[in-house]
Amino acid sequence: MKNLFLTSLVLTFLISCSHPKETDKLSVARGEITVAVDESFRPIAEAEIGAYQAHYPEAKFNVQYLPEQKAVNYMLSDSAELIMISRELSSEEQKYYTQRNREYHPAIMALDAVTLIANKESDLSSISIEEIEAILKGKESNLKLIFDNSSSSNLNMMLSKFDIKDINKSNIFATNGTLEVFEQVQKNKNAIGLIGLNWISDEDDKKSMNLKNQIKILGINTTTSEKPVYPTLSTIKSQEYPFVKIIYLHTTQNGWGVAMGFIRFACTQIGQLVVEKMGLQPFYLIPKNYQLTSSDPFEVVE
């Protein structure tokens, strides 16, 4: 009798190990992940995560706001399952996937823009691309360029656009985040801050509009436009504005858990409506005659 009981106990244990409980399986509706977000995308990240959790309250996000390269390193060191940055991974970084016999599939969520801001009392209302390039390359100027971080997506994009390797220039400064950029611009009439548009694009958000009211947005003088070009939905969509920035989502999650679910959510109808509500350009255009259902965030009916 004792042996029969032990045999039964062992069989029960083996069955429970080979067939995990439903709650132990990956699910888009529940679970906890760490997300590393380039700090310049903080407002749009908060909006998308909030929308996801409104549909899936049991999904938990531990969000780290970091400079872009640190966000990448977080994911590649298995410290984050999901990252939000402004670029695809390099061939060297993609080895993380190939070494695990997995395919690399970046997802594009939206178009943002590097936005130049100045003191409200500054004489500047616009600046040319050539002048920005000259300052980045070390030309003497009374103007100072203030970035949100020394390895942020805003700085990375500007250096890439002008093919600049060395940023050790006397009139280029990096702070510890976007809010510090605002502070420096308000203190210095010669400062030009470079921020993500999503920080000041949500017209329904008081915090966003308070920040916008503290500064002036500079137009960009280009050779293709008679007037200065400002970052707007139309100029971002047409890429008439020269400093358009793509928002990419990357994940190391292998299966339909919260990370994969979030990417699908952000890149389909409701997630794209969040992008549009934030004043940014959705990557996937949404027909206006769609009606959202409350039962499933991925379902849309005409």
Which is nearest to 177 in space by CA: 36, 21, 39?
A: 39
Nearby residues of 126 by Cβ (< 8 Å), 6 or more positions away: 218, 219, 220, 221, 228
Complete DSSP assignment for 203-214: TT-HHHHHHHHT
Q: Annotate 145-160 with three-state secondary structure.
A: EEECCCCCHHHHHHHH
Residue ranges with strand state E in 86-166: 107-119, 126-128, 144-147
How confident is the model over 125-135, as a mean pLDDT? 95
Q: What angle do CA 192, 196, 201 make, to 5 degrees?
A: 105
pLDDT exceeds 90 at position 282: yes
The predicted structure's pLDDT at residue 201: 96
Helix (H) or strand (E) holding 182: helix 178-187
CA distance 100 to 98: 5
Least confident of 8-12, 125-129, 273-277, 290-294: 8-12
pLDDT tens per residue across span 177-235: 999 999 999 999 999 999 999 999 999 999 999 999 999 999 999 988 889 999 999 99
Domains of the chain: 27-110+246-301 (3.40.190.10), 112-244 (3.40.190.10)
CA distance 106 to 42: 19
Which is nearest to 219 in space by CA: 280, 128, 145?
A: 128
pLDDT tens per residue across span 30-84: 999 999 999 999 999 999 999 999 999 999 999 999 999 999 999 999 999 999 9
SS3 of residue 234 by DSSP: helix
